[in-house]
């Protein structure tokens, strides 16, 4: 089923992306591509995310990388839909201050110039809200994982010493934070895997 949907998407999006122009995108219909627990992912959602990913990662789309990009984007959007469903169930809220700091950290962590990215988004007709929605989803999921599992994390002196010995530039506090984050990442992966196993995913 995965192969069939990717092949059909490849036919659609390869033409749209490699021969992309603004007028062509204005005519794209919001056709349902995937249903995730009755939540809709449209062909337009996929195209927007392909362009957003290309801008953020500095990728020039071509015949060689387009199929891989489509595959990755569809998988990513499915995971995000499932995460959002879980986030909404727990009624996770994000305030403006939290978002602004998270966005700032995103640009600093990835060594990306914010103004350049925003200009590229505008040039490629990608709404800033699309980018913000992407980051908000990541922030909300992180907040959920911390709320569910942070109290279950544990740190041993031996773990900290071992990590610092392998990375002398790390302080003990930084090593502790890395150990905690690894534990949270494992819990995040497990939770998402369990959610995906129980999900109903239908390709159109």
List, in order of start, the domains of the chain with CATH numbers: 2-148 (1.10.4030.10)
Q: What is the end-to-end Cα distance of the chain in Å, rounded?
A: 10
Query: Could you tell me how many residues make up the chain?
Result: 204
Tens-binned pLDDT, residue by residue, of the chain (204 aa): 443 444 344 444 444 444 444 344 545 567 888 999 999 999 889 889 988 999 999 888 777 787 788 889 999 999 999 999 999 999 999 999 999 999 999 999 999 999 999 999 999 889 999 999 999 999 999 999 999 999 999 999 999 999 999 999 999 999 999 999 999 999 999 999 999 999 999 998
Between helix 128-149 and helix 172-198 the angle, nearest 10°, is 100
């Amino acid at each position: 089923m995965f192969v069939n949907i990717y092949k059909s998407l490849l036919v659609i999006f390869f033409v749209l992306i490699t021969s992309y122009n603004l007028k062509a995108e204005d005519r794209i219909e919001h056709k349902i591509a995937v249903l995730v627990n009755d939540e809709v992912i449209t062909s337009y959602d996929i195209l927007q995310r392909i362009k957003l990913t290309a801008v953020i990662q500095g990728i020039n789309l071509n015949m060689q990388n387009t199929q891989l990009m489509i595959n990755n984007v569809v998988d990513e959007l499915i995971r995000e839909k499932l995460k959002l469903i879980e986030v909404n169930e727990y009624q996770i809220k994000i305030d403006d201050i939290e978002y602004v700091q998270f966005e700032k950290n995103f640009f600093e962590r990835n060594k990306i110039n914010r103004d350049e990215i925003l200009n590229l988004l505008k040039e490629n007709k990608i709404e800033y809200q699309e980018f913000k929605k992407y980051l908000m989803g990541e922030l909300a999921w992180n907040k959920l994982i911390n709320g569910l599992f942070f109290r279950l994390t544990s740190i041993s002196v031996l773990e900290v010493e071992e990590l610092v010995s392998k990375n002398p530039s790390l302080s003990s506090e930084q090593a502790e934070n890395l150990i905690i984050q690894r534990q949270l990442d494992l819990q995040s992966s497990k939770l998402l895997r369990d959610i995906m196993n129980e999900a109903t995913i239908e390709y159109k």
